[in-house]
Chains A and B, each alone.
Chain A
Amino acid sequence: MAESILSFNQFSFQYSSLAEPTLHDICLDIYPGEKILIAGPSGSGKSTLAHCINGLIPFAHKGKISGDYTLKGCCPAEQSIFEISRSVGTILQDQDSQFIGLTVDEDVAFAFENDCVAPEEMKPRVARALSMVDMQEHMNQSPHELSGGQKQRVSLAGVMSMEVDILLFDEPLANLDPASGKHAMKLIDDIHRDSGKTVIIIEHRIEDVLEQPIDRIVVMAEGRIVAVGTPDEILSSNVMQENGLREPLYISALKYAGCGLTPDAQPSSLEKLSDNEQVRRALGEWIEVSDNSPHEHEPVPLAELQDVRFAYGEGTEVIKGVSLKIGAGERIALLGNNGAGKTTLSQLLTGMVTPTSGDILLNGESIRQWSIRRLGEQIGYVMQNPNHMITQTMIRDEVGLALRIQGVPQAEITAKVEEVLRICGLYSYRDWPVSALSYGQKKRVTIASIMVTEPKLIIVDEPTAGQDFKHYTQFMDFLSRLAERGVSLLFITHDMHLALEYTERAAVLCNGEIIASGSTASVLTDTEIMKRANLKETSLSMLSRSTAVATPEALVRHFIQYEKRKKQVSEHE
């Protein structure tokens, strides 16, 4: 085999502020031209490993290194970060911070400017990079005029125009709507194929990454590499499940159906699998087990939007006449493409912005004159970006803030805070400062801080962004139990399966208008609607279509109920 381009040998790293190493005994060789996926639970050290590759460790984050690491045969710690940046191009996890220029074209030009490329020469190169990601007409826009997906494309153009050998992506899909995510993966694949660069992708959305060919998957847990193999090898084993990761849904379905998957069956390809006679039979038998369809009844309305319209300042209308009812105890998914107005709609509901026309009712009473504070007692809102909500230094104080303001006795606060921290998987971090948490962990802190206030309606903007399967299942299950006690839930999400699993009803927002609303399963099988709102079928419904053993709705429902029963059984044990 060829000489490896990256090589870790018994490599360990410990952040100087932590008492224990974050990475242990990493042994990994990556060869030129490979395309690698790194998967692992939140906090397992994926970003830390990425920082070792791009030189931020040891140049920006200090800590203790032991073992060997070589990049193109040299030891990077003896070079400077600039030399490393000649070989490695990185897209960081945080999109806003890596947009450095004041405008799109300037941002793409940033690396050229630092290389002293003459302006005349720079312009055509920038234009070429932007046309590759289809962003030319946005050339002069500022970052705050772009949606998350558009910013992501600009970053892609920025690193692609650098002549590097290795491209490193830290969660490129977080916050992208499914269609944009698919587009981004396609783009990465095109670059990989055309240029032969080595590509390393870190991502929680494993199913979306695997839609394009991947050479090897590296699974990490608790700072160690627990498995390395081709997608076929990893998918046919149970290593993902065992480490709290979400496998592609069709793989789980087939495993539940009792199909023994082997690498030879090529489980990474849905088409190949569906042609397999044995797979069809097993799936058909599994689904035979009958199930009851959900009963529908009209709940008491809690909140109601009546023909609400809204525009930011003098700009164009962002919400164009939305009417929506939220019943008590209902679980609703709000879906839609990037920039459709989902976040804006939740800000309208929480009084953070006021509609230009139309009305919002809560228990039949108009909330136009209500203060944000008064509304906050009834409607809890977990914002998209956790950094916009966190105001205290310590986790404990942050979660208990609302209770302290209400004047709840200290002992009661402590008990309540510890209870929700347990639910959110943060109990063992209870005495940590917020600043030492990973992005996904911070998001859970904000969810916890809203849970303690026990509102009537909880809105969660992107609950699963940056979360692993095990943790989000934990708090989503808890939230769902609240719904049984009459609390309404509104989830804003790009994860179609999450919507199917945890909500009865879905509303689809597209460019400021509700284009569909109804039972989640029926909305998410309407291909016309899905296409308009940049949504995507889950691999479960693709599986049902290609094997033709059941309707997509039936398979999805069966799958969800099967998982629910499995969970109940494991809770009893």
Chain B
Amino acid sequence: MKQSIFNLDTRTVVAIGIGAALYGLLNWVSIPVAPQTGLRPAIAILTVFGALFGPIVGFLSGAIGHIVFDLSSGTIWWSWVLGSAISGLGMGLVFMSKSFSIKEGRATGGNIATLAIVGSLALIVGFGISSVLDIYLFGEAPDKMLLQFIAASLSNITVHVILGVGAVLGLLKMNRSNSNLKVSK
């Protein structure tokens, strides 16, 4: 049985906190592929935590993780905090499906496709909103933002699909083998 996503029990609070810590920490890692953009493995944390704990945890660990990262690097970029949060929320949507439960090792092919596609869309929408906000709040040049946005989206989606969805598949497999265990002689 799954609990309601709005029920913030202790486990959920801890999941948000630890998800945020992982996201914040891994944000320091970036494998450069183009100027000002890199493959950010941290994105995969949003995939995993969203899929495991749902949209609320995805949203909040994205937001808090981003703020925590920014706090240790000097300036809080509110627009990008929102982008991370929305991406996390999108990754969590698949959690609402009845046939999907990582804890019990259950998922249909459709669930995985949903995770990959909805997650990618969430990355586009989330960081799209960040880019638009940068144009309005900071007065950044739209052409430049568009270029940056496309490069970032491509690399984020790559990480999400390969690393993030890959990790979710791994967890599913692990939890499937984690039931009905017997001591064999």
Give the chain B neighbours of A430 by CB distance below 8 A: 184
B181 near A428 with CB under 8 A, answer: no
A62 to B, closest residue via Cβ: B1
CA distance A19 to B182 in the complex (A): 6
Taking a contact as CB atoms under 8 Å apart, the answer to whether A428 and B183 are in contact is yes
Mark each residue of chain B from 159 to 185: 1 if its CB lies under 8 Å from any CB of chain A, else 0. 000000000001001100111111111
Chain B residues lying within 8 Å of A18, measured Cβ to Cβ, are: 180-182
Assuming the contacts A393-B170, A435-B174, asked whether A428 and B180 have C-beta atoms less than 8 A apart, the reply is no
Asked if B177 and A394 sit within 8 Å, CB to CB, the answer is: yes
B170 (CB) vs chain A CBs: closest residue? A393
Nearest to A432 among chain B residues (CB) is B181
A429 within 8 A of B: yes
The answer to whether B180 and A431 have CB atoms under 8 Å apart is: no
Bound: A381/B182 CA distance, A: 31
> Once bound together, how far apart are the Cα atoms of A20 and B179, in whole Å?
11
A111–B139 CA distance with the chains assembled, in angstroms:
48
Closest to B177 in A: A433
Interface bits A428-470 vs B (CB < 8 Å: 1, else 0): 1111110110000000000000000000000000000000000
A393 near B174 with CB under 8 A, answer yes
Residue of A nearest to B179 (CB): A17
Q: Are A17 and B170 in contact (CB under 8 A)?
A: no
A97 to chain B, nearest CB (A): 10
B184 and A431 form a contact (CB under 8 A): yes
Kindly state the separation between the CA atoms of A428 and B182 in the bound complex, as whole angstroms: 9
Question: Contact between B174 and A17 (Cβ–Cβ < 8 Å)?
Answer: no
Contact with B along A14-39 (1 / 0, CB 8 A): 00111110000000000000000000
Contact at A435–B178, with CB atoms within 8 Å? yes
The interface residues of chain A lying within 8 Å CB-to-CB of B170 are: 393
Contact A19–B178 (Cβ < 8 Å): no
User: Which residues, 144 to 187 on A, are CB-close (under 8 Å) to B?
Assistant: none
Shortest CB-to-CB span from A20 to chain B, Å, is 7
The distance from the CB of A400 to the nearest CB of chain B, in whole angstroms, is 16
User: CA separation between A433 and B183, bound complex, in Å?
Assistant: 12
Which residues of A sit under 8 angstroms from B11, Cβ to Cβ?
60
Which residues of A have CB within 8 Å of B185?
Answer: 428
The docked-state distance in angstroms from the alpha carbon of A16 to that of B11 is 19
Chain A residue nearest in CB terms to B1? A62
Per the bound structure, the CA–CA distance linking A432 and B179 in Å amounts to 10
A436 near B181 with CB under 8 A, answer yes
Complex: how many Å from CA A60 to CA B184? 27
Which B residues are in CB contact (< 8 Å) with A429?
Answer: 183-184
| CB of A18 to closest CB in B, whole Å | 5
Contact A428 B178 (CB under 8 A): no
Q: In the assembled complex, which residues on chain B have CB atoms less than 8 Å from the CB atom of A16?
A: 179
Helix, strand, loop or mixed for chain A's interface? loop
Closest to B176 in A: A433
Interface residues on A, range: 10 to 19
* CB-based contact A433/B184 at 8 Å: no
Q: Write out the residue numbers on chain B whose beta carbons fall within 8 Å of the beta carbon of A394.
A: 177
Tell me whether A20 and B174 are in contact (CB under 8 A): no
Q: Which residues of B contact A20 (CB under 8 A)?
A: 182-183
Contact of A393 among B177, B180, B181 (CB under 8 A): B177
Cα-based distance from A394 to B177 in the complex (angstroms): 9
CA distance A450 to B174 in the complex (A): 23
Give the residue among A393, A428, A429, A430 with the most B Cβ atoms within 10 A: A393
Task: Name the B residues within 8 Å of A428 (CB-CB).
Answer: 183-185
Interface string of B115-147 (1 = CB under 8 A from A): 000000000000000000000000000000000
- CB within 8 Å of B: which of A418-436? 428-433, 435-436
* Binary contact track A389-409/B, C-beta < 8 Å → 1, others 0: 000011000000000000000
Decide: A433 near B180, CB < 8 A? Known: A393-B170, A428-B185.
no
B79 to chain A, nearest CB (A): 29
**Shortest Cβ distance from A81 into B: residue:** B10
Give every chain B residue within 8 A of A433 (Cβ-Cβ): 174, 177-178
Query: From A15, which residue of chain B is reached at the shortest CB distance?
Result: B181
Complex CA gap A394/B181 in Å reads 13
> Nearest Cβ in chain A — how far from B112, in angstroms?
19
User: Which residues from B are CB-within-8-Å of A17?
Assistant: 178-181
Contact for A19 among B174, B177, B181, CB less than 8 A? B181
CA distance A428 to B181 in the complex (A): 11
- Enumerate chain B residues within 8 angstroms of A436, measured Cβ to Cβ: 178, 181
B174, closest chain A residue (CB): A393
Residues of A within 8 A of B183 (CB): 20, 428-429
Instruction: Indicate if the CB atoms of B184 and A19 lie closer than 8 Å.
Output: no
Name which residue of chain A comes closest to B183, CB basis: A428
Give the shortest distance, in Å, between B105 (CB) and chain A (any CB).
10
Q: How far is the CB of B108 from chain A (nearest CB, A)?
A: 22
User: In residues 315-341 of chain A, which contact B (Cβ within 8 Å)?
Assistant: none
Nearest residue (CB) in A for B185 is A428
**B37-68 with Cβ < 8 A to chain A:** none
Residues of B close to A431: CB separation below 8 A: 184
How close is B51's CB to chain A, nearest CB, in angstroms?
A: 17
Closest to A16 in B: B179
In chain A between 1 and 24, which residues have their CB closer than 8 angstroms to a CB of chain B? 16-20
Residues of A within 8 A of B173 (CB): 393
CA distance A20 to B178 in the complex (A): 14
The residue among B178, B181, B182, B184 with the most chain A CB atoms within 10 A of its own CB is B181
Give B13 Cβ to nearest chain A Cβ, in Å.
11
A residues in contact with B184, CB < 8 Å: 428-431
**Bound: A432/B183 CA distance, A:** 9
Q: How far is the CB of B14 from chain A (nearest CB, A)?
A: 9
Q: Name which residue of chain B comes closest to A393, CB basis.
A: B174
Of B11, B173, B184, most buried by chain A (CB within 10 Å of CB) is B184
The distance in angstroms between the C-alpha atoms of A556 and B179, with both chains bound, is 47
CB distance from A300 to the nearest CB of B (A): 43
Bound-complex Cα distance A393 to B184 (A): 18
Nearest B-chain residue to A394, judged by Cβ: B177
**In whole angstroms, what is the CA distance A436 to B185 when docked?**
17
Determine the chain A residues whose CB is within 8 A of the CB of B174 once the complex forms: 393, 433, 435
Q: Scoring A residues 336 to 355 as 1 if CB is less than 8 Å from chain B, else 0, what string do you get?
A: 00000000000000000000
Shortest Cβ distance from residue A394 to the other chain B in the assembled complex, whole angstroms: 7
Q: How far is the CB of B161 from chain A (nearest CB, A)?
A: 21
Closest CB in chain B relative to A16 CB, distance in Å: 8
Q: Which residues of A contact B (CB under 8 A)?
A: 16-20, 60, 393-394, 428-433, 435-436
Give 6 CB contacts A-B under 8 Å.
A17-B181, A18-B180, A393-B174, A433-B174, A433-B178, A435-B174
Q: 10 tightest A-B contacts by CB?
A: A393-B174, A19-B182, A428-B183, A19-B180, A17-B179, A433-B178, A18-B181, A433-B177, A428-B184, A17-B178
Apart from the given pairs A18-B182, A436-B178, 20 other A-B contacts in the complex at a CB distance below 8 Å: A16-B179, A17-B178, A17-B180, A17-B181, A18-B181, A19-B180, A19-B181, A19-B182, A60-B11, A393-B177, A394-B177, A428-B183, A428-B184, A429-B183, A429-B184, A431-B184, A433-B177, A433-B178, A435-B178, A436-B181
